[in-house]
A and B are shown apart, each in its own frame.
Chain A
């Protein structure tokens, strides 16, 4: 059994538009996979379904064998506490310091401030921004802001790390740095799924790629790659 399995997943919006069509794919624990495709191909919807921010119109999404589509609302928070998410526009809190931004998931989980401090500093150290913990996000560069977003996504040691266009605003050198950072998390056993339209960048990573086109899979992971999703 794979860690994450999508079976015949279709997402149709109220206006009739189909964001995803009959997607079936599996992700092994500790794998790193890229989702690519043109704008509007369904990459973001795919990630939203995995985060349980939305539910498919049809199909099953199994996480460790549990169909999260049927997860009761009361269990969704606990499910999300084990997921990490990174976005192109970071979603950092402008009025909070770097430290407080990264601490949000831990405080939500009810950790003591001592544990919060230990984990936040470890995460900031991991992304190389420990010395900037007292600054506000606006005092950081775009690349640094993205690193803070990543630190927040991994601070609670999630089982799965999802990223939606995490290098969309960055120059090629910074983009490679960020991708290498994601790779480090994969190496310690986190399942990483990254949606990106930067084909050259993801091709250079040598990881499995799933290509979406108009909501359908046009290239399943591993078909043309040396790597599989493992």
Chain B
């Protein structure tokens, strides 16, 4: 049987030989100690509920801001994904133009090599859709003619370059009965650019606020360490390992971080609830049937994990700083 006892470093012969029973007993002792420390740390955190609430709120805010931006970026990406991601051209015909003009333009330009497909929204169809979204049905009934133009929505192929796009737009503008030609790429590019900005801003804020959350936890844990220095000295004197001494503080950090994760999730949920109605209206105004991305279970678990991880990191930082040079007596 292999032996851990090393005569050169074990004056008492206290280190047991390695065997299955000894190993199991060691694991059992380790688990028992973790259970006890976790319970004691939870009691410690709950007994100082005022301080704990403050720490949870601070970490929650630190998590909620970048997490909120992440959600915003996800929603923007959702919009740009659901919107035709290919370059497109909208062609507005003159109000009252010949109803056949739309069909003939569609048939003609569908043959173009760069065109993927063309959708024709007639003036009547546009009016029906407008009634549905605008809620001004009564006013529209008063009008003696349809004020909306027919629309051709042309989706171009992916490999269409800007010059080819402009050429097609020019050909369309030259046609009689065409009122306006709009290259939609700009809008999409804006959304995508905005998504990129939000994503980068989210990263900057995530790193900054993660650092903030680590420092908040580190400070709180440091205070907890300072309040228990005498006990830690005694523990070290009677043979506690550094890991044993550090353990309760890592649990503090974990509980602070998890609580912060819950607080962050609550802040985000409240914000989403507050913004839900105007956001739906905004998305609806683009004629898109898009459900805004919100706080789902995976996101919640991720937030808890992030909070817990940052909490433990902060606790490790504080414990390493304060306990490494702890004078025993």
Contacts and interface: CB of A to CB of B under 8 A. Distances in A.
Interface of A: 48, 51, 53, 63-66, 68, 71-72, 74-83, 85, 87, 91, 93-94, 96, 104-105, 107-110, 112, 152, 156, 159
B235 A104 contact: yes
Given A53-B329, A93-B230, A112-B32, A79 B238 contact: no
Contacts of A108: 235, 238-240, 244
A153 to B, nearest CB: 8
Contact of A51 (B12, B29, B32, B237): B237
B310 to A, nearest CB: 29
11 contacts: A63-B11, A77-B241, A79-B12, A80-B237, A80-B239, A81-B14, A93-B230, A93-B231, A94-B230, A104-B235, A110-B30
Interface in B190-243: 230-231, 233-235, 237-241
B15 to A, nearest CB: 6
B136 interface: no
Interface string B60-79: 00000000000000000000
A66 B10 CA distance: 7
A83 B12 CA distance: 10
A76 B13 CA distance: 13
Q: Which of B29, B36, B241 has the most CB of A within 10 A?
A: B241
B11 to A, nearest CB: 4
B8 interface: yes
B12 A109 contact: no
A75 B11 CA distance: 10
A64 B29 contact: no
Given A66-B7, A91-B329, A78 B12 contact: yes
A196 B229 CA distance: 27
Nearest to A108: B240
B134 interface: no
Contacts of A82: 11-12, 14, 239
Given A108-B239, A110-B32, A112-B32, A68 B11 contact: yes
Contact-residue bracket for chain B: 20 to 34
A48 B328 CA distance: 10
Interface string B33-54: 1001000000000000000000
Given A81-B239, A91-B233, A108-B239, A64 B12 contact: yes
B328 A66 contact: no
Contacts of B240: 77, 108
A112 B237 CA distance: 21
Contact of A66 (B11, B32, B234): B11
B9 interface: yes
B239 A64 contact: no
Contacts of A87: 329
Contact of A91 (B13, B234, B244): B234
A108 B33 CA distance: 9
Q: Which of B11, B13, B235 has the most CB of A within 10 A?
A: B11
Nearest to B26: A110
Contacts of A104: 231, 234-235, 238
Q: Which of B13, B238, B239 has the most CB of A within 10 A?
A: B238
B238 A80 contact: yes
A181 B266 CA distance: 60
Nearest to B227: A95
Contacts of B239: 76-83, 105, 108-109
Given A53-B328, A75-B10, A82-B12, A110 B237 contact: no
A90 B231 CA distance: 12
Interface string B4-32: 00011111111100000000000001101
B244 A71 contact: no
Enumerate the 3 nearest inter-chain pairs by beta-carbon distance, A residue then B residue, closest first. Answer: A81-B239, A80-B239, A110-B29
Contact of B238 (A48, A110, A156): A156
B9 A75 contact: yes
Contacts of B10: 66, 75, 78
Interface string B132-153: 0000000000000000000000
B241 A72 contact: no
Nearest to B33: A110
Nearest to A105: B238
Contacts of B231: 93, 96, 104
A134 to B, nearest CB: 18
A81 B7 contact: no
Contacts of B235: 104, 108
Nearest to B7: A66
A48 B12 CA distance: 18
